[in-house]
Amino acid sequence: EAVEKNAGDASSGEHEAAEEAEQGGEEKKVAASPKRSQVVFEFAGEKLNAEDFVRRSEELKALAAKVSEFPNEKNFRLPQGLFRSAQYSIRWTTTLDSMLLLGVYRHGMGNFEKIKEDPDLGLQQKIYLGPQDETAVAGAPDTLKMNRRVQSLLKELVKLESEPPKKTSKASKKKAPAGKQQTLKRSLKEEPFTFKDLVSIEKRSLVELKKLSSGTLDVERQVLIQRTKDCLRSLGMAIKNNVKDKNQAHTKIWNQIAKTCKTHRSGEQLQKLFRKLE
Domain boundaries defined on the chain: 63-162, 194-277
Region 100-111: mean pLDDT is 93
| Residue 167: predicted pLDDT | 55
What backbone torsions phi and psi does residue 86 show, to the nearest 5 degrees? Answer: -80, 140
Pairing of strands 40-43, 46-49: antiparallel
- Please state, for a pLDDT cut of 70, what percent of the chain lies above it: 71
What's the mean per-residue pLDDT of the chain? 76
**DSSP letter string over 73-119?**
GGG--PPTTSSPPP--SS---HHHHHHHHHHHHHH-TT-HHHHHH-T
Are the beta carbons of 235 and 255 closer than 8 angstroms?
no
Superfamily of domain 63-162: Homeodomain-like (1.10.10.60)
Whether the predicted pLDDT of 189 surpasses 50 = no
How far apart, in whole angstroms, are the C-alpha atoms of residue 209 and residue 214? 9
- pLDDT tens-place string over residues 220-236: 888 888 889 888 888 88
pLDDT band at 247 (very low <50, low <70, confident <90, very high): low
- Cβ burial of 53 (10 Å; 0-12, 13-18, 19+) is middle
Region 12-31: mean pLDDT is 49
Whether the predicted pLDDT of 51 surpasses 60 = yes
58 vs 55, 165, 253, CA distance in Å?
5, 19, 39
pLDDT band at 48 (very low <50, low <70, confident <90, very high): low
Q: pTM of this prediction?
A: 0.48
Region 156-169: mean pLDDT is 68
Strands (E), the chain: 40-43, 46-49
Whether the predicted pLDDT of 183 surpasses 70 = no
